[in-house]
Amino acid sequence: SQQGEEDPQALSIQEGENATMNCSYKTSINNLQWYRQNSGRGLVHLILIRSNEREKHSGRLRVTLDTSKKSSSLLITASRAADTASYFCAMEGRNYQLIWGAGTKLIIKP
Amino acid sequence: KAGVTQTPRYLIKTRGQQVTLSCSPISGHRSVSWYQQTPGQGLQFLFEYFSETQRNKGNFPGRFSGRQFSNSRSEMNVSTLELGDSALYLCASSLMGLAETYNEQFFGPGTRLTVL
C-alpha cells in the first residue's frame, strides 16, 4: 500500500476539548505534512514538520515527529465547531512524492 | 492570486466511455499532481507532472493518463470507464522545483465523477 496509517479513524469530542490524532509511516521521509479537508474549503495545508525537527506549533496546532518510531501526532487544542473536518497526514519521500494516510474524521460537538 | 481551478466540477458518464478532466495550477507553479479520492479512503496518488514531464506515477492501470502543457495546465484522461472509477479527482499544484526544499500542495475543489 502507498498509504501511511492514521488513527483513530474517527474522533468525536466536545467543543473546548483537545483532539489528538496519530500517523505512522514506513519509509524515510524529507518531511511530514498535515492537511484538513472539509466541505466548505476543500483540502488545505495546515503545517509541515521537517525530518530534523521534533515539534512544531502553529496557533492551536501542535505537531510532533518521532523519526525513530516513524510516527507523528497532531494536537488541536481548545477545539471549535469549525475544526470539524477530516485530517490527513502526508509524508514526503525522498523523490518528493507525497504518501497519504487514510485520514481521521474529527467531529466537534457543541 | 487565483487558486487551483478544476473543470468540470461534476461529471456523469456511463461505463465504457472516456473522460478528460482539466486543472489550472496557481500561477508560477510548475508541478501538478492528480489524486483519486473515494468515500472513506485517503488520497490515492495518480501521477505528477513537472515542466510537461511525468515525474512520478502511482499504481493505477494504463487507462489513466495525463499530460501537462507548456503553461503548466494539466489534463487527466480516463478511458473505458468502469463503475469503480466513480470518485472525487483532485488536482494539486506546488512550486516544487529543484530549488524548492519541500512539496507543499495547493488543492483545487475537485471533479466529482460518477460512472453509471
The pLDDT tens digits for B67-85 are 999 999 999 999 999 999 9
| Tens-digit pLDDT profile for residues A69-85 | 999 999 999 999 999 99
pLDDT at A99: 87
Which among B103, B106, B109 has the least Cβ separation from residue A98? B103
B71, B79 Cβ separation under 8 angstroms: no
pLDDT of residue A1: 43
- What confidence tier does B101 reach under pLDDT thresholds 50, 70, 90? low
Mean of pLDDT values over B10-33: 95
On whether the CB atoms of residues B85 and B79 are closer than 8 A, the answer is no
Q: Distance between CA A26 and CA A17 in Å, rounded?
A: 31
Q: Rounded to whole angstroms, how far apart are CA atoms B54 and B52?
A: 7
Cβ contacts below 8 Å, chain A against chain B, sum to 52
8-state DSSP, B26: P
Instruction: Report d(CA B17, CA B78) in Å as an integer.
Output: 9
Query: A95–B58: do the CB atoms touch at under 8 Å?
Result: no
* Count helices and strands in chain B by DSSP H and E runs: 0, 11
In the block, cell 501542535 appears at: A62
Q: CB–CB of B103 and A95 under 8 A?
A: no
Distance CA B112, CA A28 (A): 33
Lowest mean pLDDT among A37-46, A72-81, B45-54: A37-46
Q: Which residue in chain B has the smallest CA separation from A29?
A: B102
